[in-house]
Amino acid sequence: MVIPTRNEARNLPAVFARLPAHLYEVIVVDGSSTDDTIEVARSLRPDVRIVRQVGNGKGNALSTGLSEARGDILVTLDADGSTDPAEIPRFVGALVAGADLVKGSRFAQGGGSADITRSRRLGNRALCGLVNRIYGTSYTDLCYGFNAFWADCLTLLETPRPQLGAAGVTDAESPFGRGFEVETVINVRAAKAALRVWEVPSYECRRIHGVSNLSAIRDGFRVVGRIWSESPALSARYHGTMAAPREAVHGLLPEPTPAVAQHDDAVVDATGSFQAQVTPLIPEQPTAARARSSNGHPAVER
């Protein structure tokens, strides 16, 4: 699990209190906090891994933390209390049931938000429509920071993109971008790589303490820019290549068709098993059995 932080000392106790038991690891990526974020994290969970962020922005923080993760399942979680760690078994259950990437949705049946404004809701709807039209997906939520995926998908999701400097020199940027466009980048690249993506309902709470750095207008334009730059035609023209097909990672699959499934009534029973009616929204290719043990750990984050 990767949690980016910056001055979240007052929020971490509530977030850590709802973490499921037996997680394999918790990584806090700290972006130069000036409060006691690191000390609080260590006092709450002595086994927490603290990673110091060198760059700036949420996208950079997530890329930094994910590159350090050692588990077979990677989960991204916000540190402000808006995403509920108690929902993690729902995400893991969907991965074990056959998904490559599971994204939380505030707009799937059973989801919701106590924090989203009318302008952000309309913006999310417009951006979803744009992505669905370009990439043939059926996403209901594009800009939500609660995601989980198998670690071997990371290579496909963080394909670096060059950035043109003033003199036309290309400099490698953060693989996910630097800011709040990171969730959009992950969703778009999952579609381009033909990963099996499932949505599960998630409820967004209000930030407990502090003020969000999110700006609906500024970050909305950044998201539109990333959608545009990630589009297949522009990728081929400006970046020379698109994300490699999934078979390049596993050597097991034929050329796949993008797949998105939505879990409207997802629940987890007492044993942690995932129970839901899954309706593929785009035809799927068979996915190889999930026997993830390349690093010696079982295929479920512990």
- pLDDT per residue over 124-177, tens digit each? 888 898 899 988 899 999 989 899 999 999 999 986 554 434 333 333 456 877
Q: What predicted TM-score, i.e. pTM, was given to this entire model?
A: 0.74
pLDDT exceeds 80 at position 223 = no
In a domain, 301, yes or no: no
**pLDDT bucket at 207, cuts 50 / 70 / 90:** confident
In a domain, 52, yes or no: no
Mean per-residue pLDDT, 32-44: 96
The pLDDT of residue 299: 33
The pLDDT of residue 55: 85
What percent of the chain clears pLDDT 90, i.e. is strictly above it?
48
In a domain, 267, yes or no: yes
In a domain, 245, yes or no: yes
Full 3-state SS string of the chain = CEEEECCCCCCHHHHHHCCCCCCCCCEEEECCCCCCHHHHHHHHCCCCEEEECCCCCHHHHHHHHHHHCCCCEEEECCCCCCCCHHHHHHHHHHHHCCCCEEEEECCCCCCEECCCCHHHHHHHHHHHHHHHHHHCCCCCCCCCCCEEEEHHHHHHHCCCCEEECCCCCEEECCCCCCCCCHHHHHHHHHHHCCCEEEEEECEECCCCCCCCCCCHHHHHHHHHHHHHHHCHHHHHHHHCCCCCCCHHHHCCCCCCCCEEEEECCCEECCCCCEECCEEECCCCCCCCCCCCCCCCCCCCCC
Mean per-residue pLDDT, 44-61: 92
Total tally of structural domains belonging to the chain: 1
Measured at the CA of 114, the angle between CA 23 and CA 15, to 5 degrees, comes to 25
Mean per-residue pLDDT, 20-29: 95
**pLDDT bucket at 216, cuts 50 / 70 / 90:** low
In a domain, 131, yes or no: yes
pLDDT exceeds 70 at position 259 = no
Cα–Cα distance for residue pair 32/251, rounded to 1 Å:
41
**Domain carrying residue 133:** 81-280
What percent of the chain clears pLDDT 70, i.e. is strictly above it?
66
**pLDDT bucket at 227, cuts 50 / 70 / 90:** confident
pLDDT, averaged across the chain: 76
The pLDDT of residue 171: 35
In a domain, 213, yes or no: yes
The pLDDT of residue 221: 67
The pLDDT of residue 298: 34
In a domain, 48, yes or no: no
In a domain, 29, yes or no: no
**pLDDT bucket at 278, cuts 50 / 70 / 90:** very low
